[in-house]
Amino acid sequence: MAQWDLPLDEMRAYAPDLPVPDDLADFWASTLADARRHQLAATFESVDTGLALVETFDVTFAGFGGSPIKGWFHVPVGRSGPVPAVVEFQGYGGGRGLAHERLLWPAAGFAYLLMDTRGQGSTWSPGETADPDGAGEPAHPGSMTKGILSPETYYYRRVFTDAVRAVEAARSHPAVDASRVAVTGGSQGGAITIAAASLTPDLRGAATDVTFLADFPRAVTLIDKDPYAEVARYLKAHRDHVDQVFRTLSYFDVANLGTLSRVPALFSVALMDTICPPSTVYAAYNRYAAEKSIVEYPFNDHEGGQAFHDVVKLGWVKTHLA
């Protein structure tokens, strides 16, 4: 493996002139207004994990179209009053997993909600949320082209809306200080993080790692690995849909959505990443409209900074939620 993308000095300045839909903000405002016509109906059912220092709850709330979205919610035992919260989003193909798996944020004193991704969760981590508006029960990855011929029907319209509702669900719990909430995630979760930060302007911070769904025109033509290759294979068969597909993707490209954000962000990028090209992460970073910083991992692939970056991210989130 090598640093195969653009030279680093070029990437650090790379801010492509992507086509931004004239109605991007209106499209998302209308989408969220439609979602909020359904009661959030967030429920938190206590789960006995055997852990002594963390309380765990099985969460359900209404996402896009009122569909039930699952998650895990953890809060530290012995807290005094409401605490700040972190909401996390999963990588491609993964679900919320088992209740005891994610403990970093509650161990650090935060409330923590991990959102299950609708229609995913049948590869490296199990999920329990169906996609009744599109794909039915959770299935093997193949989400990149679901409903791709229209922004109204595209899969990530539902997922990004779910993410905003997940923040609202976390804020609804009495243990959470609703004024101090941050979002985070890696890869697909990193893209959802930027979407949530762009559509929820009063968040305190967004930490996005090895970000996916950025600069589609470059990524889809540069990478021959899934998930981006799903789009290329679709267009290989549907030669007459190229313009239509890229118009749809422009509404979900986080290098576009980030231009709407007013939330401080911490990015990380791996310079040997062969899944999410580092240049496309820089496209999202350089076009991001709010306060921002980025950490580079020169010798890492899509795993990025992992535990090393957890230390950085924990300090950054503590500062922004103080």
Q: Nearest CA to 18 among 268, 209, 284?
A: 284
What is the token pair recorded at 93?
């193909």
Q: Nearest CA to 180 among 105, 255, 117, 89?
A: 105
8 Å CB contact between 110 and 85: yes
User: Which residues 6+ apart lie within 8 Å of 122 measured at CB?
Assistant: 93, 95, 138, 139, 140
Q: Which of 143, 273, 279, 309 is catalytic?
A: 273
| 261 carries an active-site annotation | no
Q: How many CB atoms lie within 10 A of CB 149?
A: 15
Is the link from the previous residue into 227 a cis peptide, with omega within 30 of 0?
Answer: yes
Helices 188-199, 24-35: inter-axial angle, 10-degree rounding: 90
| 80 carries an active-site annotation | no
Alpha helices in the chain (DSSP H): 8-13, 24-35, 104-107, 155-172, 188-199, 216-222, 228-237, 242-250, 254-257, 278-287, 306-321
| 302 carries an active-site annotation | yes
- The SS3 assignment for 296 reads strand
Q: Which of 67, 125, 143, 187 is catalytic?
A: 187
Q: Which of 38, 100, 238, 302 is catalytic?
A: 302
Q: How many CB atoms lie within 10 A of CB 199?
A: 22
Known catalytic residues are: 187, 273, 302
